[in-house]
Amino acid sequence: MAYEMIMKPMTFKITWKDGLVITPWERPIGPTHGPSDPSLPSGSPVKDALDLAQDVPHSPLDQFAIKSFLDMRVGYLYISFTNPTFFMLLTLGLVFLLFHLVTKKGGGKSVPNAWQSLVELIYDFVPNLVNEQIGGHVKQKFFPCISVTFTFSLFCNLQGMIPYSFIVTSHFLITLGLSFSIFIGITLVGFQRNGLHFLSFSLPAGVPLPLAPFLVLLELIPHSFRALSSGIRLFANMMAGHSSVKILSGSAWTMLCMNDLFYFIGDLGPLCLVLALTGLELGVAISQAHVSTISICIYLNDATNLHQTFFIVIFL
């Protein structure tokens, strides 16, 4: 009995008294409309449910569905205004609004208030990363690109934590587009800066010559994987985190409503778990933006400096 009480809310199955088991998100095979099966007993809730069910059941992955608001089509290209488009514009609007409100009328005060501290924190975060990771004298040229990437992924991740909002970076296409474009950019920068010596970075020093072509070809595989890895990491973290929260909150809702005597004061266990998981999700949102930015800096370092390290000796 206790086992059923714990395990039963974790599933989404509905078992009616005549033994029919329905999972709410099973995609219906066959007609969902029309008269229900006449062999079902007439007072049965199954019959009523099937009669009333006119829309597709819900799944925990439905929060990632892309709906288009305005369909626009140019030949083979679909340039419709969709869910991710709207939320990306909303993110950009939020970033611009925040930065504008802090820096208007001459650019803030010397003693910063809380909003200015926050903006300064976000703005100062990237030059520290760039200085630290990329050696040599070319570092500050890449600061705007990396700063925009970091701010975009940070605000997109955080904005997805708002309930009933849409997480832009939880789509593989968006994060892959970002990471792939940056990878192509880094490769181009490497070739532009170092010429064909760029290929020498895949060859460590002191390797005998017959082994060289084999090593270079083998090195191409992890190098190309970098294009995918940043995108997949961000996508997997966001999607898995939000799916977990959705599933657990469905279970929490079921358990909250389970008590017949006091409605809505049921078991609070899964609700505390959802609270803790949401806190973890917030931490993961910020930390994944940080991790993707650091990995971009590391790839840039590899491309421009070719495994060389500059020893800076400071005489105090």
Partner 1 sequence: MTRMEKFEMLEGAKSMGAGAATIASAGAAVGIGNVFSSLIHSVARNPSLAKQLFGYAILGFALTEAIALFALMMVFLILFVF
Q: How many residues bind partner 1 (CB under 8 A)?
A: 25
Q: Name the minimum Å distance from CB 244 to partner 1.
A: 7
C-beta of 241 vs 270, nearer to partner 1: 241
The 1-30 site mask, x for binding partner 1 (CB under 8 A), equals -------------------xx-x-xx--xx
Q: Is 160 in the site for partner 1 (CB under 8 A)?
A: no
Task: Provide the residue type at 117 as one letter.
Answer: S
Residue 163 to residues 81, 155, 167, 170, 280, Cα–Cα distance (Å): 22, 15, 10, 15, 15
Q: Is 83 in the site for partner 1 (CB under 8 A)?
A: no
Q: Name the minimum Å distance from CB 242 to partner 1.
A: 10
- Under 8 Å CB-to-CB from 247, ≥6 apart: which residues? 60
Question: Is 271 within 8 Å of 258 (Cβ atoms)?
Answer: no
Q: Name the minimum Å distance from CB 213 to partner 1.
A: 32
The piece of 34-42, 56-64, 184-192, 213-221 that touches partner 1 (CB under 8 A) is: 56-64
The 3-state secondary structure of the chain, one letter per residue: CHHHHHHHHHCCCEECCCCCEECCCCCCCCCCCCCCCCCCCCCCHHHHHHHHCCCCCCCHHHHHCCCEEECCEECCEECCEEHHHHHHHHHHHHHHHHHHHHHHHHHCCCCCCHHHHHHHHHHHHHHHHHHHHCCCCCHHHHHHHHHHHHHHHHHHHHHCCCCCCCCHHHCHHHHHHHHHHHHHHHHHHHHHHHHHHHHHHHCCCCCCHHHHHHHHHHHHHHHHHHHHHHHHHHHHHHHHHHHHHHHHHHHHHHHHCCCCCCCCCCCCHHHHHHHHHHHHHHHHHHHHHHHHHHHHHHHHHHHHHCCCCCCCCCCC
The 127-146 site mask, x for binding partner 1 (CB under 8 A), equals --------------------
Q: Name the minimum Å distance from CB 226 to partner 1.
A: 13
Q: Is 232 in the site for partner 1 (CB under 8 A)?
A: yes
- What tokens does 265 get? 């004061």
C-beta of 85 vs 229, nearer to partner 1: 229
Q: Name the minimum Å distance from CB 29 to partner 1.
A: 7
C-beta of 41 vs 210, nearer to partner 1: 41
State which of positions 252-311 bind partner 1 (CB under 8 A): 284, 287-288, 290-291, 294
Q: Name the minimum Å distance from CB 13 to partner 1.
A: 9
Q: Which of 5, 6, 56, 61 binds partner 1 (CB under 8 A)?
A: 61
Q: Name the minimum Å distance from CB 236 to partner 1.
A: 5
Q: Is 56 in the site for partner 1 (CB under 8 A)?
A: no
Q: Is 199 in the site for partner 1 (CB under 8 A)?
A: no
Q: Which of 44, 83, 116, 243 binds partner 1 (CB under 8 A)?
A: 243
Q: Which residues bind partner 1 (CB under 8 A)?
A: 20-21, 23, 25-26, 29-30, 59-61, 232-233, 236-237, 239-241, 243-244, 284, 287-288, 290-291, 294
